[in-house]
Amino acid sequence: MKSLLLPLTLLLSLSSIAQDKFFTRTGHIWFFSSTPVEDIEAHSRQVSSILDVTTGEIVYSLQMRSFEFEKALMEEHFNENYVESEKFPKATFKGEIKNFDEINLSENGTYQVVVAGDLTIHGVTNPVETEGTLKVNGEKIHGKSTFTLLVADYDIEIPKVVQDNIAKEIEINVDINYEPYNQ
């Protein structure tokens, strides 16, 4: 009996460690720019993210070239002229859920959260803080948030010839479905 208890205890403790992190590689982030001249929207459904459910730490990473635009020319200009995807291939966020102690992940429900951390785009890192929601449903966690950023804060230069087409402030939307991370 003792010989059976040790492997069972080890297996249970390893499974609880695996449940400490939730993960996705198919998160959805999109942005929207609206001006009187033109609306621009692009989506990436290739966002990787890890949520540590013991600390509330959260990390996102995405390849800038994964954004898809309605028009191929917009996508080309975005990657070559604005975010310089060859030189700065990734955008990352590393932060935490500030009110994590108010969330009970063992109970299904929707929880209001405040997320704060550092967002790096175009080689420039700035602090970001926004509100969002975490929806717990069994073994799955769904995170959503919307925030705005200033293009100039990330040293993204918009040529004068198209400056009326691109908003100075961009709306960013985050929609992530996490599942337990099984190593």
Q: Which uninterrupted H or E stretch holds 178? A: strand 169-180
Pick from 23, 26, 103: which is nearest to 59 by CA?
Answer: 23
- Give the contacts of 71 (CB within 8 A, at least 6 positions apart): none
Confidence band (pLDDT; 50, 70, 90) for 166?
Answer: confident
- Give 112-137 pLDDT, tens digit per residue: 999 999 999 999 999 999 999 999 99
* Number of Cβ atoms within 10 Å of the Cβ of 129: 11
Cβ–Cβ < 8 Å for 66, 43: no
Q: CA-CA distance, 111 to 178, in Å (whole number)? A: 15
Within 13 Å of residue 40, how many CA atoms lie on the same side as its CB?
A: 22
Q: Which domains does the chain have, with CATH numbers?
A: 26-180 (2.40.128.110)
pLDDT score at 183: 66
Rounded alpha-carbon distances, angstroms, from residue 87 to 59, 78, 84, 100: 22, 13, 6, 35
pLDDT score at 164: 83
Q: CA-CA distance, 161 to 150, in Å (whole number)? A: 19
Strand 68-69 relative to strand 39-52: parallel, antiparallel, unpaired? antiparallel
Residues in the chain: 183
- Give 44-57 pLDDT, tens digit per residue: 999 999 999 999 99
Strand 68-69 relative to strand 109-121: parallel, antiparallel, unpaired? unpaired
pTM, two decimals, is 0.85
Cβ–Cβ < 8 Å for 27, 174: yes
Residue 168, amino acid: K
